[in-house]
A and B are shown apart, each in its own frame.
Chain A
């Protein structure tokens, strides 16, 4: 009896609307992930977004690996026809900790740790949504160990319709119509 109820609950919770919401937040359809799928003309295609710029901020523990990865990013951008903007290096950050070596007393004996973080920021200009998704998927799959990436997307959209004219004008239009 309880098992049947659980199944019913599960089906009601995971309704189509919920599923689409969960899907659209992070999960991308196979076509956007670069896999070959037969084109379904009945499936509604979302229009391509426009990004004025994409900023990739990389953080790494090893500067040599970071340099190599940035070289790869630039080569991939060149081959995929992506315009690169600035490439700059924010100052590195060393986190140093001096901790007591012993669990109890012996405060004169310490152990020191250090975590080194190096930064690099690459700017990409004028990309469409498809290009951005393809480029990012490719470069993120090739991200080596010890590097983290933060992608800032600057998407350009048109002003919503209700803001294109003054509210009293639209009211008067509405009343007249």
Chain B
């Protein structure tokens, strides 16, 4: 009974159901102007309202930087140093990313593209910038001496010192190979006799490259590069001095049976030929033929040469033994 007194008159107010229907049909302005007392209840975020709010917010922002940049700007001033990719600063329509259907879909654009931001960009190193920076650095460079050809360099500076430097991202600055020093010495620059050279090659072993006739000495036993370099030079000095020395027991070591190559002078073959009393050049040619036969092995050419030399030595007619 009491509640009936507070009920408004039905005729004055439009029914609640009618109001709701009007709101759902999407005429908020009409609904508002229709009844200033009772605005339609709008709980949900309706798409139009949200979009309008977003557009209003976007309109208040200035346009992105790449639309405001002049066409004749210096790109080196815009991007002077390495920097993470920023889409609004770069006036390029870039796309990067994976798509499942490349024929139907375009790769993702540059805005909010994590792949484009992760990868290192070279926007700070465009060709004009590189040229400008190199022009500024050129005064710290010195030219290669004129007239210093490779041959001249081998004459004047035969020693080659090889060192390594490392640049990497790591918890530690140090690299174990940075202290290693290699020394390359061509044997032609050292004053060596035959026996000296033989002794040096035996001492050095497989550090000698027979093709280039270069010895490579690698030092890594010391903790510092400077120490390893000094040790390598010391090693070279010791090798050279030792190969020039002659120990008393070395004379007994090298008998004829130990020789790697046949030597005509002082051999039993020479002693056997001497009593024949042939001319010196005939004996020499026979000596050369025997040397070749021993050192190079039996071959068509070596055997033919030996036959020719023997025929000349013994004074036999030409057709003897000829095939």
Contacts and interface: CB of A to CB of B under 8 A. Distances in A.
A78 B138 CA distance: 11
B54 interface: no
Contact of B153 (A127, A156, A164): A156
A76 B166 contact: no
Contacts of A24: 226
A144 B157 contact: no
Interface stretch (B42-50, B120-128, B213-221): B120-128
A128 B146 CA distance: 12
B137 A80 contact: yes
B157 A160 contact: no
Contact of A68 (B122, B158, B233): B122
A39 to B, nearest CB: 12
The 10 nearest A-B residue pairs measured at CB: A79-B134, A148-B168, A144-B120, A156-B157, A131-B141, A134-B140, A130-B142, A149-B167, A151-B165, A157-B159
Interface of A: 21, 24-25, 34, 48, 50, 52, 62, 64-65, 68-69, 72, 75-76, 79-81, 126-131, 133-135, 138, 140, 142-146, 148-160, 162-168
B67 interface: no
| Interface SS majority for chain B | mixed
Nearest to A157: B159
A138 B163 contact: no
Contacts of A128: 141-145
Query: Chain B CB within 10 Å — which of A76, A145, A163, A165 has the most?
Result: A163
Interface string B156-172: 11111111111111000
Nearest to A163: B240
B259 to A, nearest CB: 24
Interface string B206-232: 000000000000000000111000000
Interface string B232-246: 010011001100110
Interface centre among B135, B140, B191, B240 (most CB of A within 10 A): B140
Give the interface size bracket for B toward A: 35 or more
B94 interface: no
Interface of B: 82, 119-120, 122, 125, 127, 130-131, 133-135, 137-138, 140-145, 148, 150, 153, 156-169, 185, 189-191, 224-226, 233, 236-237, 240-241, 244-245
A50 B143 CA distance: 11
B241 A167 contact: yes
B119 A163 contact: no
Given A126-B144, A138-B137, A52 B161 contact: no
B226 A163 contact: no
Given A72-B130, A167-B241, A158 B157 contact: yes
Given A152-B164, A156-B160, A166 B122 contact: no
Nearest to A146: B120
Given A152-B163, A153-B164, A159-B190, 12 more contacts: A25-B226, A65-B120, A68-B122, A72-B130, A79-B135, A133-B140, A134-B141, A140-B167, A145-B169, A156-B161, A157-B160, A158-B157
Contact of A167 (B82, B119, B185, B244): B244
A162 B82 CA distance: 51
Nearest to A62: B119
A52 B237 contact: no
